[in-house]
Amino acid sequence: MNQMTQAERSVQTETRDVKFECRDVQVWYGEKHALKDVGVDILDKTVTAFIGPSGCGKSTFLRCLNRMNDTIAAARVGGQMLLDGEDIYDPRVDPVQLRARVGMVFQKPNPFPKSIYDNVAYGPRIHGLAPTRADLDAVVEKSLRRAALWDDVKDRLGETGTSLSGGQQQRLCIARAIATSPEVLLMDEPCSALDPIATAQIEELIDELRDRYSVVIVTHSMQQAARVSQKTAFFHLGHLVEYASTDDIFTSPKDPRTESYITGRIG
Amino acid sequence: MSDPAQTAPRPRRSLLQTDAGTRRRNAAERRFRTYGAAAILTAMAALAVLMFTVFRDGASAFVQARATIPVVIAADVVDPQGNRDPAEMAKILTMSYSRLLDQALTREIARSGIQVGGLTQRDITGFLSAQARADLRRAVLADPSLVGQEIEWRMMTSSRVDAMLKGRITREMAARDARTSVAQYDLAMALRDRGVVRAGFNWRFITAPDGSDSRPEAAGLGVAILGSFYMMLIVLVLALPIGVAASIWLEEFAPKNRLTDVIEVNISNLAAVPSIVFGILGLAAFINFVGLPRSAPIVGGLVLTLMTLPTIIISTRAALKAVPPSIRDAALGVGASRMQTVFHHVLPLAMPGVLTGTILGLAQALGETAPLMLIGMVAFVTTYPSAPPQGLFDPASALPVQIYNWTQRADPAFFERASGAIIVLLAFLLAMNLIAIWLRRKFERRW
């Protein structure tokens, strides 16, 4: 599915700008210290994978990046997370504006029970990104094309999003997320509810999305991380253990914990 | 550490033979299913008996015997001044019209050659409803040109004659009853055979206001239906938005702390408060303190709103809870605000549950009697309330209170009316439940 070799891709990462600059990030769920001293620079136009055993904090960290943790009453976040140099946890920041710039795709495909068109058009509508109907049509088509779904659904945009197959639903969710022209796309195990063919399509799509967006993907599958990402971060028990180029993580890990995880001894 | 491979091998048993444990389990399962079926059958039987008795006793309330006889509106009786001035004619009371009707009936008996022994003047006067003279007087006052003419006049018979035609009073009973006689019974049968007295559908039962103790045949549900309708309007307009807003706040926005816990517990408690307590509250708060009028639909509506609110809040919160969190994530994830998330996505998905809860709450309020009695809706009201909003402050009755009221009266004809009113109330409840089902179907979305 992926024509480029690992080596070709890793070369390109060196020149990228830093999109997210995270320092000393802490997260507490009530009394539980779920994430400790995490510091990561997430690059633009790069796919960054977060791997690690269940409960290691990788999803928690992902949800901090667009402040989805705000919806959990018991969650507290500390440290610094800068998007293009601006602190996203600054009291002046409206999470609504942040989420328009940092889109999210969830583990389970969760299209709205509305038409395919309305699913994609929802974000641009509430953010006022497409003032006329023609603009909106253009945004919907562009987003669906970029999510590789346009040819499947162009004749049935009025049908409900939930009538699609699982893989198509997840691509619809990706189209919905990119319709607001975000700069960063967060994906929380986007393929875990999909069959291998749909997974392959999504992975291919992720690779194409790298042209325009900074993509952060949480995955349980190390093969997937190796296939789609250029940078990989390994989390363990709330700590960021190692963060390096994907090649280095999988070929010459520096931390023994990383090595035991990728060789299947922990996790 | 025991290795499962090391344990003793299980004795091989045939699958074709059920062992004792399985047999016991199957028997228990069969017993349980029988209990369930028996419970359903008991409930169905109780419902069937209830429906049967209500319809047996009440269906006849929708039919009324009426006599059609030519009546001479004698000018010397109704307009002694002879100037056709309605103001002057209004001084003539219904008693005089009664004479006209008695004469007309006597003439009709003579004309059709009916021979009934022992017919007294009292039997003649008591044959027609007391409402008939009032109706005739009203018709003449409205149209003075009728004076001096002979008109074909259709009028209600008295409730006892009506009961004779329906078979509720037999000839033997008529002989024993002091208020009627065998002669009146024979007259009723003879007039029926000649087609002078005929039974027809009783629209008046549904549209007319309540009638006095002495004329059950004139009593209708008009004021009660209007009063109940006004109250339902108030409950819908107040309880739905307040209830839904409260549920949304509690479910989607409220922080989880001691205060919201206390609020939650108290909403559940309010749902269990006896309705008569709400009546006392209404009496103290709305009538004695605010000074709203007694017997008015506005007070009844407010009391029923308070009573219905917990029901609506509980069902709305359940409906909101049932919306999968992934939908909220999806909306928040594309940058919708929490309010947009609720109003664009969560509430539309919860709508079937909200509407079902609301209509069931309304149905419960429609059948509520006790609180309305405390705020004076048991009053005897014979004038229709005017159109809203003014009419909300006019005295009115309510369907369940009217039923209660009629069961308290002596005349057995009121018992028939009470059962008939129960049928009307059940019809409204059924209609509301059907609307609830229809709305649920219409708004249901799958995800």
Map A168-190 to HEC letters: HHHHHHHHHHHCCCCCEEEEECC
Q: How confident is the model over A137-145, as a mean pLDDT?
A: 93
CB A243 within 8 A of CB A234: yes
Expressed in angstroms, the distance from the first to the final Cα of chain B is 47
Yes or no: say if B316 and B244 are a contact pair by the CB < 8 Å rule. yes
Question: Is residue A193 within 8 angstroms of chain B, CB to CB?
Answer: no
**Residues from chain B contacting residue A176 (CB–CB below 8 Å):** 330, 334
Extents of the domains making up chain A: 19-110+183-262
Among candidates A71, A96, A110 on the partner chain, residue whose Cβ is nearest the Cβ of B330: A110
Rounded CA separation A217/A199 (Å): 13
The band of A10, judged by pLDDT with boundaries at 50, 70 and 90, is very low
- The burial class, CB within 10 Å (0-12 / 13-18 / 19+), for A80 is middle
Q: Are residues B239 and B379 in the same domain?
A: yes
- Same domain membership, residue B439 and residue B334: yes
Residue B7 pLDDT class (50, 70, 90 cuts): low
Distance separating alpha carbons of residues A96 and B333, to the nearest angstrom: 9
Say if the Cβ atoms of B333 and A100 lie within 8 Å: no
Min distance B324 CA to chain A CA atoms (Å): 9
Rounded-to-integer distance, Cα B346 and Cα B326, Å: 10
Which residue, B140, B171, B157, is CA-closest to B74? B140
Chain A residue closest in CA terms to B445: A113
pLDDT score recorded for residue B288: 92
The structure tokens listed for B347 are 């509430």
Chain A stretch 68-127, residues whose beta carbon is closer than 8 A to a beta carbon of chain B:
68, 71, 73, 96-100, 103-106, 108, 110-113, 122-123, 126-127
Q: Per-residue pLDDT averaged across B220-226, rounded?
A: 92
Question: Residue B1 — very low, low, confident or very high, per pLDDT cuts 50/70/90?
Answer: very low
**B332 reaches A (C-beta below 8 A):** yes
Nearest to B329 among A100, A110, A176 (CB): A110
Model confidence over B97-125: pLDDT tens digits?
888 899 999 998 888 888 888 888 888 88
Q: Are A110 and B256 within 8 A, CB to CB?
A: no
Strand partners, B32: none
| Secondary element (H or E) of residue A232 | strand A231-236
Q: B346 to chain A: nearest residue by CA?
A: A112
* Residue that is written with structure tokens 């603009």 in the block: A135
Residue of A nearest to B333 (CA): A104
- Chain B nearest-CA residue for A98: B335
Are residues B299 and B409 located together in one domain of the fold? yes
pLDDT tens for B128-171 read 988 888 889 988 888 888 888 888 889 999 988 999 998 888 88
Q: Quick one: average pLDDT of B262-279?
A: 91
Q: Do you find a cis peptide bond into B395, omega within 30 degrees of 0?
A: no
* pLDDT, average across residues A233-238: 91
Is residue B426 situated within a structural domain? yes
Tokens of B103: 């004469």
- Per residue in A154-207, pLDDT (tens digit) is 899 999 888 898 889 999 999 999 999 899 999 999 988 888 888 898 899 899
Give the pLDDT confidence score for residue A9 in this predicted structure.
Answer: 47
Report chain B residues whose CB lies below 8 A from the CB of A175: none
Whether residues B73 and B188 share a domain: the answer is yes
Q: Is there a single domain that holds both residue B382 and residue B304?
A: yes
pLDDT digits over B414-432, tens only?
999 999 999 999 999 999 9
Verify that B240 and B133 share a domain, yes or no. no
pLDDT of residue B388: 82
Smallest CA–CA separation between A120 and chain B, in Å? Answer: 10
Among the four given CATH numbers 1.10.287.3510, 3.40.50.300, 3.40.640.10, 3.30.70.890, the one describing domain A19-110+183-262? 3.40.50.300
pTM: 0.82
The torsion angles phi and psi of A38, rounded to 5 degrees, stand at -90, 130
Domain shared by B376 and B419, yes or no: yes
Q: Residue B327's domain is classified under what CATH number?
A: 1.10.3720.10
Where a domain ends, among B202, B234, B264? B202
Chosen for mutation from B252, B326, B334, B347 (greatest number of chain A CBs closer than 10 Å) is B334
CB within 8 Å of chain A, chain B residues 84-143: none
Contact at 8 Å (CB) between A71 and A104? no
What residues of chain A lie within 8 A of the CB of B256, using their CB? 73
Following DSSP, what letter does each residue of B234-296 receive, concatenated? HHHHHHHHHHHHHHHIIIII---SHHHHHHHHHHHHHHTS-HHHHHHHHIIIIIIIS-PPTT-
Contact residues on chain A for B255, CB-CB shorter than 8 A: 73
Q: What is the pLDDT of residue B445?
A: 67
Which range among A48-52, B67-71, B84-88, B186-190 shows the weakest confidence by mean pLDDT? Answer: B84-88
Domain count, chain B: 2
**Where do we find the tokens 């049967």?**
B52
Q: Give the confidence band of A13 by pLDDT, cuts at 50, 70, 90.
A: very low
Q: Taking CB atoms and an 8 Å cutoff, what residues of chain A touch B333?
A: 66, 68, 99, 103-106, 177
> Domain range spanning residue B127?
67-202
Q: Which of A98, A108, A127 sits opposite B326 (nearest CB)?
A: A108
The pLDDT of residue B214 is: 83
B330/B382 same-domain check:
yes
> Chain B closest CA to A71's CA: distance in Å?
9
Helix (H) or strand (E) holding B57: helix B20-58
Judged by DSSP in three states, A124 sits in helix
Indicate the residue of A68, A112, A180 with minimum beta-carbon distance to B332: A68
Q: What is the mean pLDDT of residues B356-378?
A: 90
Q: Does B336 touch chain A (CB under 8 A)?
A: yes
Q: What's the pLDDT tens digit per position in A92-117?
A: 989 888 998 899 999 899 999 999 99
Task: Provide the number of CB pairs (under 8 Å) joining chain A to chain B.
Answer: 69
Specify the pLDDT at position B302: 94
Q: Is A163 on the interface with B (CB under 8 A)?
A: no
Assess whether B132 and B234 both reside in one domain: no
Please state the rounded mean pLDDT for residues B74-96: 83
Q: Is residue B427 part of a domain?
A: yes
Residue A172's closest chain B neighbor by CA? B330
Distance from CA of B348 to the nearest CA of A (A): 10
